[in-house]
Structure 1
Amino acid sequence: MAFRRSHSLQLPIGLLSLLSTISLILMATFATTTTAATTNVRLTFIRKPSKILPVFREAPVFHNGRDCTKNLVHVAMTLDSNYLRGTMAAVLSILQHSFCPENVFFHFLWSHYDEEIHTNIKTTFPYLRFKIYKFDSKKVRGKISKSIRHALDQPLNYARVYLADILPVDVNRVIYLDSDIIMVDDVEKLWRVNLEGKVLAAPEYCKANFMRYFTDEFWMDPELSRTFMGRNPCYFNTGVMVVDVHKWREGGYSYKVEEWMAVQKQKRIYHLGSLPPFLLVFAGNIKGIDHRWNQHGLGGDNIQGRCRSLHPGPISLLHWSGKGKPWLRLDSRKPCTVDHLWAPYDLYRSSKRTLEG
């Protein structure tokens, strides 16, 4: 179709457009000034910061097998916009590999109410059984010490310390999981581990150099170094734990962890975030379980986040602990080999995929 050009305008169209825009601005300014003067109200325009959350495609529906009971498996995780993509992948992997997926009940903890995140979960997993709890960041205000990585200093990273205070009283056992994990086995197997009277169970790594998790000042202090006397302390990762919530409440373990956080504020006795106080309270006194339940360290170290390969042996859970996260490395097109094991569980719907239909 051909458009007829008008010759009746003596000024260039671009100039007319500019003049019209200026006129509109002056009129709007005059109207605003007049209104403000009339009502004696000072007008202040504040632009609300926009937060762009990832968009996810809807996950498949998973149903229970024939022999499933109605016994619930309680799983606790934190919710944070920066790790939401990891959380979604983790949830999908748990449901996909569970023989009784409808029995899995998720307890999510967040620092503040976020309608967008709540909507994301509901639309991605319409049939998910879950509840969200507010973790009051004031609980750890003034108790957190700066660590070697900023992400470890976030208040929500300490929510696991207060699980027993937050969860309903009828929840006697819970599996706590970080957001950067992928489950490739039935979560109920982990749920059923025999705690043998211990407060928590986790894979132990006794070949790790336990001393490096604490400063020289800690080991040189006669009183502090006696902390592990009578125990055979081994490293364990707090991103995968089975916790007897009832025993935790009875023993007042939230307070015991807090006591060590207070010592850290006075003397720098460790460099990491919430892990060392857990080790100080529990190391050498937990139920050690098979290493297959925490193939950890796939995110590399806490400084560089370099690629790491899988440890030998069977695998039930992959854990990208460390600085490098698989979704970030995949997006940057510089993935590690292990990141391709995470990719099939990624529900992220990029703008490119959306446009392509």
Structure 2
Amino acid sequence: VVLFISVNQILLFLLVLTICVILYNKVHKVPSTLNNETIDLENPEEMEEEIPVVICAAAGRMGATVAAISSIYSNTDANVLFYIVGLKNTIPHIRKWIENSKLKEIKYKTVEFNPMILKGKIRPDASRPELLQPLNFVRYYLPLLIHKYEKVIYLDDDVIVQGDIQELYNTKLAPGHAAAFSDDCDLPSTHEMVRSVGMQNTYMGYLDYRKQTIRDLGISPSTCSFNPGVIVANMTEWKHQRITKQLEKWMQRNVEENLYSSTLGGGVATSPMLIVFHGKYSTINPLWHVRHLGWSPDARYSEHFLQEAKLLHWNGRYKPWDYPSVHNDLWENWFIPDPSGKFKMIRPNS
């Protein structure tokens, strides 16, 4: 009888021990796949979607890149991965700037852009040589620079994001559309600015309609243009439609026939996109691309309107890190000084 009781006690002890071990493992379970990755233990199947944002870092303009990244990062909880594209000699500078500032917490990759890919595709233009900088054409080559993503955001460096970038990423693209842009006629609040500084917002302002090749496109010169400084792109459609090849074709034709130039609308990178995407793009919410802040050194928007804007774009000659410029306080809010001291804002008393 004593032996029977002892066996029962041992079995009971083993049963309790087994239950404790099972409960401990359930409470403290760690996925074997964890390694160096961060996984949400509560909902491992609901991994937060990564938002790839492409932005260029050009020599002499890196303060713009840093301010844009700072504004995006500060205004969202989304899982943003920045693809910072530069030339070989600029990448070490931007990396050092990020690693030695509060931006060291961001997720980013640097991508080197080889300007040789543009050889024979750009016509020399003495009137605005800055528009021929190789990084102006990065947006043509998104699928070559970024892999594995279905959807990508491209931003010019002279922007500040005041809204949550997740909203822009959620822009719906119609079936068959490779990209979404902002129409230049979309926001009544900007119409007065456009008229006051003599800007163009139609195809006539970008393409040379005296050329038969342009007339043969059958696009009315009064068609509203769009601005490719903010792009939400569908990579699957972009590759399927061979968008990059189409853009390169028009670049080469321009070299041969001079079909567009920066003396017109002010964008040699814009004109091929206007041709290739004509009638085949979705639209971005107008407040997600409030532009023309850099077209005049004294034409200003109302403060109320600018507070509502989700994204501000200083397209034009008058940049907010330079002088003269307007609304530069909105830009300076997000600027982070260069630890190396190479990049400095230009101000009247500096």
What TM-score do the two structures reach when normalised by structure 2?
0.72
C-alpha separation in 2, matches of 1:345 and 1:270: 35
> 1:121: which partner in 2?
98
> 2:330: which partner in 1?
341
Match of 2:80 among 97, 104, 108: 104
| Structure 1 residue 319 corresponds to structure 2 residue 313 | yes
Given residue 209 of structure 1, which amino acid in structure 2 is its aligned partner? T
| Structure 1 residue 277 corresponds to structure 2 residue 268 | no
Task: Give the CA deviation at 1:274.
Answer: 0.7
Task: Give the CA deviation at 1:157.
Answer: 0.9
C-alpha separation in 1, matches of 2:328 and 2:221: 37
Match of 1:306 among 292, 297, 304: 297
Task: Give the CA deviation at 1:199.
Answer: 0.6
> 1:167: which partner in 2?
146
Rate the CA distance shift 1:106–1:174 in 2: closer, same or farther, 3 A.
same
Give identity over the alignment, percent: 25
Task: Give the CA deviation at 1:324.
Answer: 1.1
Give yes or no for contact 1:217–1:268 (8 Å, CA) kept in 2.
no
> 1:188: which partner in 2?
166
Match of 1:152 among 131, 134, 137: 131
C-alpha separation in 2, matches of 1:172 and 1:234: 28
C-alpha separation in 1, matches of 2:274 and 2:47: 36
C-alpha separation in 1, matches of 2:134 and 2:182: 25
Deviations 1:23-73 (A, max 9, x none): xxxxxxxxxxxxxxxxxxxxxxxxxxxxxxxxxxxxxxxxxxx99951111
SS in 2 for 1:109: strand
> 1:255: which partner in 2?
245
Unaligned 5+ segments in structure 1 are 1-65, 352-357
SS in 1 for 2:228: coil
Give yes or no for contact 1:298–1:307 (8 Å, CA) kept in 2.
no
C-alpha separation in 2, matches of 1:165 and 1:276: 21
C-alpha separation in 2, matches of 1:346 and 1:253: 34
C-alpha separation in 1, matches of 2:225 and 2:290: 14
> 2:184: which partner in 1?
205
Rate the CA distance shift 1:228–1:200 in 2: closer, same or farther, 3 A.
farther
Deviations 1:212-249 (A, max 9, x none): 2112423xx1x431314599943111110001112111
Task: Give the CA deviation at 1:205.
Answer: 2.0
Task: Give the CA deviation at 1:349.
Answer: 5.3
C-alpha separation in 2, matches of 1:245 and 1:231: 29
SS in 2 for 1:160: helix
1:80-99 aligned at under 5 Å gives the runs 80-99=58-77
Give yes or no for contact 1:297–1:308 (8 Å, CA) kept in 2.
no
SS in 2 for 1:345: coil
Given residue 85 of structure 2, which amino acid in structure 1 is its aligned partner? L
Give yes or no for contact 1:199–1:247 (8 Å, CA) kept in 2.
yes
Task: Give the CA deviation at 1:319.
Answer: 0.3
SS in 1 for 2:88: coil
Give yes or no for contact 1:292–1:317 (8 Å, CA) kept in 2.
yes
Deviations 1:111-158 (A, max 9, x none): 215323222122222121111112111110121123441111111111
Task: Give the CA deviation at 1:77.
Answer: 0.7
SS in 2 for 1:237: strand
Rate the CA distance shift 1:232–1:75 in 2: closer, same or farther, 3 A.
farther
C-alpha separation in 2, matches of 1:258 and 1:281: 10
> 1:328: which partner in 2?
322
SS in 2 for 1:238: strand
| Structure 1 residue 73 corresponds to structure 2 residue 55 | no
C-alpha separation in 1, matches of 2:284 and 2:63: 28
Given residue 269 of structure 1, which amino acid in structure 2 is its aligned partner? L
Task: Give the CA deviation at 1:81.
Answer: 2.4
SS in 1 for 2:233: strand
C-alpha separation in 2, matches of 1:348 and 1:90: 13
Unaligned 5+ segments in structure 2 are 1-41, 187-200, 263-267, 342-350
